[in-house]
């Protein structure tokens, strides 16, 4: 169950008393290090080093997450109820969904301000994973298997319609149209000199194209989707055998192709995607079948291609919710935009070659 305010809204307000209450165990002292400051777009993440009064050695390292207080991020969160979605996913849906996520320890949420505090398991991860460089095919296969497990569990599940905090199609259309319309010009400015004239002119039609994409996807089966399935939100263990999926602020009900297109187009280099996307889609279909759901490979490909514009829309959000003066933000914007255009061209979607 989520805790109600008051609770800390920034690292500076975190205390031993708050942690003791949140974890149900007396905390003697703690320290923290900020992590992922160059990766996440919608939060401040801390690695906690905790000493318990009873000398316990369990859960001495935990992750604590607060919202990013940048106004663009806060406005995006308010419009999309992103923080509520992430916390309620961990609290309500993760326990009944067979997918690897960090263990949930405590969550606090204020719907009036969109402030939150999330405490969860710390994973010993492979720190070499980088979305800009792109992940390996072997890592991608792990993600495909986890994604199929998530999707199969909620595939056309009538219980999805009972979850009123998951956004519906109109809210999604509104949110994506706002992001695309407001973010395209700042994105082009950020990437000055990198885009062709034809690519720049695409922005005059981007909100119309968003509507076209959503119309195409409306006929595909619905399931529970992550909606921000990309390398920066994936924690691979050091042995390379497991992947944990984090940052569930985009949790939605929608077509499976949304996760597949965004993940493959944004987490793999263009060359790696081109060589392996058919194999990865086939693997997804097989994994889905192993989890009790059947999907025609042609349908899987169609849903994948129909969702390909989504990555470009999310690239439009970067100048709106992130500090565009940070070097990695520009690098990420450049990579996401280029990979999106190349994927749309490859699948002859939304563009003229």
Report the pLDDT averaged over residues 269-288.
99
| Residues in the chain, total | 353
Lowest-confidence pick of 111-115, 259-263, 273-277, 286-290 = 111-115
Q: Is 321 in contact with 76 (CB distance < 8 Å)?
A: yes
Q: At residue 345, does pLDDT exceed 60?
A: yes
**pLDDT given for residue 37 in this prediction:** 67
Per residue in 293-317, pLDDT tens?
Answer: 999 999 999 999 999 999 999 999 9
Residue 214 pLDDT exceeds 90 = yes
When pLDDT is cut at 50, 70 and 90, the band that residue 42 belongs to is: low
Task: State pTM to two decimals.
Answer: 0.94
Cα distances (Å, whole numbers) of residue 255 to 71, 155, 194: 30, 9, 32
pLDDT exceeds 90 at position 169: no
pLDDT of residue 353: 46
Q: Which of 297, 307, 287, 145 is nearest to 216 (CA)?
A: 307
Predicted confidence (pLDDT) at residue 119 exceeds the cutoff of 80: yes
Report the percent of the chain where pLDDT is more than 70.
Answer: 97
When pLDDT is cut at 50, 70 and 90, the band that residue 322 belongs to is confident
Kindly list the structural domains of the chain, giving each domain's residue range(s) and its CATH number in brackets, ordered by start.
11-121 (3.30.200.20), 137-346 (3.90.1200.10)
pLDDT for residue 39: 58
pLDDT band at 170 (very low <50, low <70, confident <90, very high): confident
At 127 the pLDDT is: 86
What percent of the chain clears pLDDT 90, i.e. is strictly above it? 86
pLDDT digits 0-9 by tens, 3-29 = 999 999 999 999 999 999 999 999 999
What confidence tens digit (pLDDT) does each residue in 128-148 have?
899 999 999 999 999 999 999
Q: Vertex 255, ends 146 and 205: CA angle to 5°? A: 125
Mean residue pLDDT across the chain: 94
> What would the mean pLDDT of 191-209 be, rounded to a whole number?
94
Rounded mean pLDDT of 81-104?
Answer: 96
- Confidence check: pLDDT of 352 > 70: no
pLDDT of 40 above 60: no
Query: How sure is the predictor about 38, in pLDDT bands with cuts at 50, 70 and 90?
Result: low
pLDDT at 30 over 50: yes
């Amino acid at each position: 169950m989520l805790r109600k305010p008051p609770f800390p809204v920034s690292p500076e307000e975190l205390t031993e008393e708050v942690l003791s209450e949140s974890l149900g165990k007396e905390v003697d002292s703690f320290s923290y290090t900020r992590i992922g400051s160059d990766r996440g777009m919608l939060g401040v993440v801390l690695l906690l080093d905790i000493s318990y009064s009873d000398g316990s050695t369990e859960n001495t390292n935990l992750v604590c997450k607060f919202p990013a207080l940048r106004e663009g991020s806060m406005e995006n969160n308010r419009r999309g109820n992103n923080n509520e979605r992430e916390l309620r996913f961990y609290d309500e849906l993760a326990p009944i969904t067979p997918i690897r996520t960090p263990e949930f320890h405590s969550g606090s949420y204020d719907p009036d301000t969109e402030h939150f505090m999330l405490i969860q398991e710390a994973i010993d991860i492979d720190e070499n994973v980088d979305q800009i460089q792109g992940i390996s095919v072997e890592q991608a296969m792990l993600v495909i298997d986890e994604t199929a497990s998530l999707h199969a569990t909620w595939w056309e599940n009538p219980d999805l319609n009972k979850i009123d905090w998951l956004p519906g199609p109109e809210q999604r259309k509104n949110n994506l149209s706002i992001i695309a319309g407001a973010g395209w010009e700042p994105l082009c400015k950020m990437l000055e000199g990198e885009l062709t004239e034809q690519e720049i002119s695409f922005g005059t039609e981007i909100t119309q194209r968003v509507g076209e994409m959503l119309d195409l996807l409306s006929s595909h089966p619905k399931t529970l989707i992550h909606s921000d399935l990309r390398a920066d939100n994936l924690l691979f263990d050091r042995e390379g055998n497991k992947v944990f999926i984090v940052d569930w602020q985009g949790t939605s009900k929608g077509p499976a192709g949304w996760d597949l297109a965004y993940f493959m187009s944004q987490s793999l280099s263009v060359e790696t995607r081109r060589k392996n996307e058919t194999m990865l889609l086939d693997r997804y279909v097989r994994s889905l079948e192993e989890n009790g759901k059947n999907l025609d490979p042609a349908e899987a490909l169609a849903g994948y291609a129909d969702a390909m514009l989504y990555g470009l829309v999310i690239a439009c959000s970067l100048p709106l919710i992130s500090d565009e003066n940070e070097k990695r933000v520009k690098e990420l914007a450049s990579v996401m935009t280029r990979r999106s255009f190349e994927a749309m061209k490859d699948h002859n979607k939304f563009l003229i070659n």
